[in-house]
Structure 1
Amino acid sequence: MRLHRNLCFAVIDGLTLIFNEGNYADKVIQQLLKRDKRWGARDRAFVAETTYDIVRWKRLYAEIAEVKQPFDRDNLWRMFAVWATLKGIKLPDWKYFENTPSRKIKGRFDELSKIRKFRESIPDWIDNVGLEELGEAKWTKEIAMQNEQAEVILRTNTLKTTKEKLQNILHEQGIETEFIKGYNAALKLTERANVFVTDAFKNGLFEVQDASSQLVADFLDVKPGMKVIDTCAGAGGKTLHIASLMENKGQIVAMDIYESKLKKLKVRARRNGVHNVDLKVIDSTKPIKKLHNKADRVLIDAPCSGLGVLRRNPDAKWKLEPEFLDRIRVTQQEVLQQYSKMVKPEGKLVYATCSVLPSENQNQVEAFLKSEAGVNFSLVKDKKVLAHTSGFDGFYMALLERKS
């Protein structure tokens, strides 16, 4: 591979924004890819994947390069040189790469690879939490898998097409996919591609949604004609899946504390041909109280650490702090206590997170069932999805039923 100056500069600019300004990696990369209209698919892929790679391995590369945050541009070029050397890429004769100690880089990599927190490039505190909650063997495998690049998974919008028809349509547009056993609506891309520019996407035939995330709506056990509440709907990935399972019949109330996210859901719903969703901003306790004892099904896709989806959001591990984890556990129990009141007798509730930590998952459900609010509920089943065993995102979901 030959390095091109303008592409490398784009990566360095992106890393400056992510590491020093605290910007989100996905947003930065979106901006970078608009930088030069002459860039082809390969150029764009280089910028996106190299930026994500260096973000993912920040701690390891910084340790090898012997640099500390905040990184100046020289520091970032040194980290870039580490990345290129370890990838076996010949460094060009640029001033940024003068005196790059290639042999020392490889030696330091071999040395640091024996220590998990460096090998997997994670903060000490996350390594400690994972070790404590999952145990040595499971955590070692899980955090290694969380550093693998995530595959692109599509969810067929069954309101408009079938999985088989969608596969044929995408094939005609030069995008190859395969079925995933055990996932009713999922198609996996065999090679990465920009699916958002396809007519199939613009016509609402699919959404991009990880296979593990697709399990949640199925877990909720919805039927056409029900009243379903998605309490932490966000931009609505699971809301739209629920709508397709309900065949657009019945009512879905999509709630969130952020109106901006619900506006995105409105646009997505229109594209998906979904018309049984009502949007409600949670701006006080009133919207929740009005829905007490009204819902056949309630989904709580709870705010969480996101430690099951680091493959998609590698910068999250650098933004997370121990205090946030403590606060989010309190929030998770609060939403369980409050939102469970919307379930009517004999109705069902799903509590889900994209975390792999028991303290955010089964421990929260156990605490809820022992509480005054949870005494009328029983656990029907739960599912723990680990990335290293499933091949997809880490997730947790518990199905609870309210007694009559």
Structure 2
Amino acid sequence: MRLHRNLVFTVIDSLLAIFNDGEYADKVVSRALKKDKRWGSNDRKFVAETIYEIVRWRRLYAEIAEVKEPYDRDNIWRIFAVWAVLRGIKLPDWKYFENTPERKIKGRFDELSKTRKFKESIPDWMDELGIKELGEEIWTKELSAQNQQAEVILRVNTLKTTRDVVHSILMDLDIETHAVEGYDDALVLNERANVFMTQAFKDGMFEVQDASSQLVAYFLDVKPGMRVVDTCAGAGGKTLHLASLMENKGQLIAMDLYESKLKQLKLRAKRNGAFNIEPRVIEGSKSIKKLHGTADRVLIDAPCSGLGVMKRNPDSKWKLQPEFIDNIRKVQAEVLENYSKIVKPGGKMVYATCSILPSENEEQVKHFLTTESGKNFTFVKDKKVLAYESGFDGFYMALLERKK
């Protein structure tokens, strides 16, 4: 591989924005890819994948490069040089790479790879937490899986089409996909491609949604004609899936604290042809009280640490702090307590997170069932998805039924 100056400079600028300015990697990458319209698909692929790769392995590369935060521009060049040497890329005759100790870099890599926190490139506190909650064996396997690049997975919109039709349309565009057993609406891309530019996406024939996330709507056991409430809808990935399973029949109330996210949902719903969705901004406890005891089904896709989706959001490793996890557990307990009251007698509720920590998952449900609100519910079943077992995101979902 030959390194091109304009592409590498874009990567360096992007890493400075992510590491020093606290910007989110996906936003930075999106901005970087718009920098030069002359770039071809290989150029864009290099920029995106290199940024994510260096973000993912930041601690390991910084340790090898012997640089510490906050990183100046020279530090970032040294980290980039480590990435290039370990990838077997010949360094060009640029001033930034003068005196790069290639043999020392490889030796340090071998040495540091014997220690998990360096090998898997995570903060000390996160490594300790993972061992405490999952045990060393499972945590080690899960970390390794979370450091793999996430696949691009589509969820076919059954309100408009079928999986076979989308597969054929994309095949005609030289975008190859394959189905996965047990995931009825999913298509996995054989190679990464910009599917958002396809007419099929613009026509609402599919959304991009991880396979594990696609299990949640099915877990809620919705039927056409029901009244369903998605209490933490966000931009509506799971809401849209629920609408398709409800065949556009019944009422689907999508609630969120942020109006901006619900505006995105409205646009996506229009493209998807999902007409039974009613977005509602949560403006306080009154918004919830109005719905007490009225819903056949309630989805609580709770705020969480996101430790199940690190392969998709590698910068989250560096943004998360231990105190955030402590705080989010309290929020999860409050959300369960408050939103569970929306379920009517005989109705069902799913509590879901994209975390792999038992303290955010099984233990939250167990605690809820001992509370005054929780005593009205019966535990039906739960499902824990780990990345090292499934190949997809880590997820948790629990189905509870309100007693009649």
Normalising TM by the smaller chain, what interval? over 0.9
Q: Distance in 2 between matches of 1:250 and 1:279?
A: 14
| Pairing 1:179–2:179 present | yes
Which residue is 2:336 aligned to? 336
Measured against aligned partners, the alpha-carbon deviations of 1:183-214 in whole angstroms (never above 9, x if no partner) come to 01000001110000000000000000000000
- Unmatched runs of 5 consecutive residues or more in structure 2: none
Q: Distance in 2 between matches of 1:88 and 1:187?
A: 33
Which residue is 1:7 aligned to? 7
Q: Distance in 1 between matches of 2:186 and 2:341?
A: 33
| Pairing 1:247–2:247 present | yes
Within 5 Å, give how 1:36-51 maps onto structure 2: 36-51=36-51
Which residue is 2:394 aligned to? 394
| Pairing 1:191–2:180 present | no
Which residue is 2:377 aligned to? 377
Q: Distance in 2 between matches of 1:250 and 1:117?
A: 49
Q: Distance in 1 between matches of 2:166 and 2:8?
A: 37
Which residue is 2:138 aligned to? 138
Which residue is 2:314 aligned to? 314
Within 5 Å, give how 1:280-359 maps onto structure 2: 280-359=280-359
Measured against aligned partners, the alpha-carbon deviations of 1:133-182 in whole angstroms (never above 9, x if no partner) come to 00010000001100000001000000000111111111112211001000
Which residue is 2:203 aligned to? 203
Deviation at 1:55, TM superposition (A): 0.4
Q: Which amino acid aligns with 2:49?
A: E
- Unmatched runs of 5 consecutive residues or more in structure 1: none
Deviation at 1:283, TM superposition (A): 1.5
Q: Which amino acid aligns with 2:34?
A: K
Q: Distance in 2 between matches of 1:179 and 1:280?
A: 35
Q: Distance in 1 between matches of 2:143 and 2:343?
A: 36
Name the % identity. Answer: 73
Q: Which amino acid aligns with 2:322?
A: P
Q: Residue 270 of structure 1: SS of its match in structure 2?
A: helix
Q: Which amino acid aligns with 1:175?
A: I
Deviation at 1:395, TM superposition (A): 0.1
Which residue is 2:81 aligned to? 81
Q: Which amino acid aligns with 1:182?
A: G
Q: Residue 7 of structure 1: SS of its match in structure 2?
A: helix
Q: Distance in 1 between matches of 2:175 and 2:104?
A: 42
Which residue is 2:158 aligned to? 158
Q: Distance in 1 between matches of 2:315 and 2:148?
A: 14
Corresponding pairs, count = 404
Which residue is 1:63 aligned to? 63
Q: Distance in 2 between matches of 1:283 and 1:276?
A: 22
Measured against aligned partners, the alpha-carbon deviations of 1:50-77 in whole angstroms (never above 9, x if no partner) come to 0000000000000000000110010000
Q: Distance in 1 between matches of 2:332 and 2:14?
A: 33
Which residue is 2:19 aligned to? 19
Give the stretch that moved more between structures: 332-341 or 281-290: 281-290
Q: Which amino acid aligns with 2:11?
A: V
Q: Residue 382 of structure 2: SS of its match in structure 1?
A: strand
Give the alignment's TM-score, normalised by structure 1. 1.00
| Pairing 1:270–2:270 present | yes
Give the alignment's TM-score, normalised by structure 2. 1.00
Q: Which amino acid aligns with 1:309?
A: V
Which residue is 2:218 aligned to? 218
Within 5 Å, give how 1:96-115 maps onto structure 2: 96-115=96-115
Q: Residue 254 of structure 2: SS of its match in structure 1?
A: strand
Q: Distance in 1 between matches of 2:139 and 2:202?
A: 40
Q: Residue 184 of structure 2: SS of its match in structure 1?
A: coil
Which residue is 1:149 aligned to? 149
Which residue is 1:168 aligned to? 168
Q: Distance in 2 between matches of 1:316 and 1:258?
A: 21
Runs of 4+ in 1 over 6 A off after TM superposition: none
Which residue is 1:228 aligned to? 228
Q: Which amino acid aligns with 2:379?
A: L
Which residue is 2:33 aligned to? 33
Q: Which amino acid aligns with 2:170?
A: L
Q: Residue 363 of structure 1: SS of its match in structure 2?
A: helix
Which residue is 2:118 aligned to? 118
Q: Distance in 1 between matches of 2:131 and 2:3?
A: 39
Q: Which amino acid aligns with 2:109?
A: F
